[in-house]
Amino acid sequence: MMPREDFVSRFGGVFEHSPFIAERAYDAGHVTEPLTAAGVHAALAAIFRAASPQERLGVLCAHPDLAGRLAISGDLTEDSRKEQSGAGLDRLSPAEHARFTELNSAYVEKFGFPFIIAVKGLGKDDILSAFETRIGNDRDEEFATATAQVERIALLRLASMLPEAQ
């Protein structure tokens, strides 16, 4: 079995800036060989779901705004940079950027965490449409949607890191 330190080093960032999830999954014995995207995801997602609401909120808050200040300053994690770039969020017109900034601010003010969506396979118009729809949700519904999106992002990241079971 991979040593704990190596496991946390490799998978601690799958849930954005939240290595405690990988640490707890390893310590609980949820991680089994062979390491596959589905298996590691199941282990990490179980820990994320069992975390306190405050801890899950912390994971949500660790995510950057879409096309936000971290993207502009170049301070996104490598995974987030690739994901946002793949969706075209690094190529917004000034008007599009202004709309994303407006929605980011309104969303965080309403919900207390950033808008989170697994952007792989989506374009900026798809993301903007989802943003405009989801901002109408109530907080409980949006918390559930955002946590599901965090899990989807984690699975997509793991799928790029690990093979599937044979």
Which distant-in-sequence residues (6+ apart) come within 8 Å of 156 by Cβ? Answer: 118, 120
Q: For residues 103 and 42, give the distance between their C-alpha atoms in angstroms, rounded to a whole number.
A: 32
Task: Give catalytic status of residue 41 as yes or no.
Answer: no
Cβ atoms of residues 52 and 60 within 8 Å: no
Alpha-carbon span 99 to 114, nearest angstrom: 15
Which residue in the list 30, 41, 63, 97 is annotated as catalytic?
63
Question: What amino acid positions are annotated as catalytic residues?
Answer: 63
